[in-house]
Amino acid sequence: MDKALNYMSLARKAGLIELGEEPAGAAARSGHARLIVVASDASDHTWRRAKSFVAGTDQQCIKVPFTKDQLGLAIGRTSLALAAFTDPALALAFVKALPQQDAFKLVIDSLDKRTKRIQSRQKEAKAHQRNKAQGKIRRVSGRKKED
């Protein structure tokens, strides 16, 4: 379980997590939240609100086996009830580090699919940049043409 909290700390240091109800809600409304995490001892109102943030989207929401104090300690606060990961790969690593992965199978599948899609796009962009640098792509009357 410490490994999962370490991923949360890493996300905070990298700026890939929104902490608190308002920032997490803003990230979810803008479509940048990939995973919303709710503390196990958070109020029912907080849990319902987190679920409403992701309703009708492909964003995920889970209740984790950590208390507000444990989540807060992991990121350098006194307590934290709600947070939103904005990076799917880091969110996936966090969920995989949690105990009882069977309970989060749908979340893992969704985040894995999104992570693979992003990695594929990055690979294509890198190949495009490499081709462009080698002069294999040139412009012909406003259109791209490959040699």
CA distance 67 to 138: 57
- Going by the DSSP 8-state scheme, the letter that residue 134 receives in this structure is T
Q: Residue 110: its pLDDT value, please? A: 87
Q: How many residues does the chain have?
A: 147
Rounded CA separation 95/101 (Å): 7
59-118 confidence digits (pLDDT tens): 999 999 999 999 999 999 999 999 999 999 999 999 999 987 777 888 888 888 888 988
Q: Binning pLDDT at 50, 70 and 90, where does residue 133 land?
A: confident
DSSP strand pairing (35-38 vs 82-85):
antiparallel
Contact call for residues 57 and 29 (beta carbons, < 8 A) = no
pLDDT tens figures, 36-66: 999 999 999 999 999 999 998 889 999 999 9
**How crowded is residue 21: how many other Cβ atoms within 10 Å of its Cβ?**
20
Q: How far is Cα 21 from Cα 83, in angstroms, rounded to an integer?
A: 7
CA distances to 63, 73, 74, 81, 88 from 67, in Å:
10, 10, 11, 8, 23
The domains located in the chain, with CATH, are 2-103 (3.30.1330.30)
**pTM beyond 0.85, yes or no:** no
| Reported confidence tier of residue 128, pLDDT bands at 50, 70, 90 | confident
Distance, CA of 120 to CA of 52 (rounded, Å): 30
